[in-house]
Amino acid sequence: MDKDRIRERVWDDLEESGEARFPFPPHGRIPNFAGADDAAARLRATDEWAAADVVKANPDAPQLPVRRAALRDGKTCYVAVPRLRDERAFRRLDPAIDDYDDATTVGGIEEYGTPVGPAGMSSVDLIVSGSVAVNGAGVRIGKGEGYSDLEFAVLRAFDLVDDGTTTVTTVHDRQVIEGDLPTAAHDVPMDLVVTPSRTVRTDTGAKPTGVDWDALPSERVAEMPLLERLRPE
């Protein structure tokens, strides 16, 4: 199956099984799921989490417990601005913030987060991505817009991530697909797949080395000031 059909199958399954959580419907988004807190707690218990001082996390609802855990554990947490629409395309959340619960919500990230561009960021030790589907080999399918992979590519262009940067996704067990999934050269593989019931370590090998300019229409690049600046002449 192609990626769109896999997405629809997973979204339908989470909704029909009753495992989807607010916001509804799960379709068209990184779906929130029952047990997201448990998946975050399982991630928090890993050696990879303990070794990370700087975390980048997506802003979606199922990873809210991960963002809160990062601050509670004294880690700096970066979150990308939606669609990379700003020149300073990330928000830095520091553990010195008083209200972790508010600061890690979608609205709170903008209120409490410090706007930063890659030049003002620290190297990232661990990246947490939301997924629609993933398999045991670490092949991830997002909601279809490609921003998570673009964010990794931008950070790599500034030497803030590399092949050794741990990449993680937290998902419901029903989102873990058996067998092969379609993938492209610019897709970032996951080193850890963490569900409420298990932690899967994969053998992903190398990660994408930079922005796949051939896969980006010029008009899309023009909507993202940071990419516009990075684009080769």
Summarize the confidence of residues 59-74 as an average pLDDT.
98
What letter would DSSP give residue 11? H
Which is nearest to 166 in space by CA: 32, 75, 27, 47?
Answer: 47
Amino acid found at 67 = R
pLDDT for the residue numbered 204: 82
**At 21, is the secondary structure helix, strand, or coil?**
strand
Whether the predicted pLDDT of 152 surpasses 90: yes
Of the pLDDT bands very low, low, confident and very high (cuts 50, 70, 90), residue 105 is very high
Q: What is the mean pLDDT of residues 159-163?
A: 96
Euclidean distance between CA atoms 233 and 207, whole angstroms: 25
* pLDDT band at residue 99 under the 50/70/90 scheme: very high
Asked whether the predicted pLDDT for residue 233 surpasses 80, the reply is no
Strand partners, 93: 77
Task: Tell me the domains of the chain and their CATH numbers.
Answer: 3-221 (3.40.50.10420)
Q: What pLDDT does residue 117 have?
A: 95
Residue 180 buriedness (CB in 10 A; 0-12 / 13-18 / 19+): exposed
* Average pLDDT estimate for 219-228: 88
At 126, is the pLDDT very low, low, confident or very high (cuts 50, 70, 90)?
very high
Instruction: Report residue 229: phi and psi, to 5°.
Output: -70, -35
Tokens of 83: 């669609």
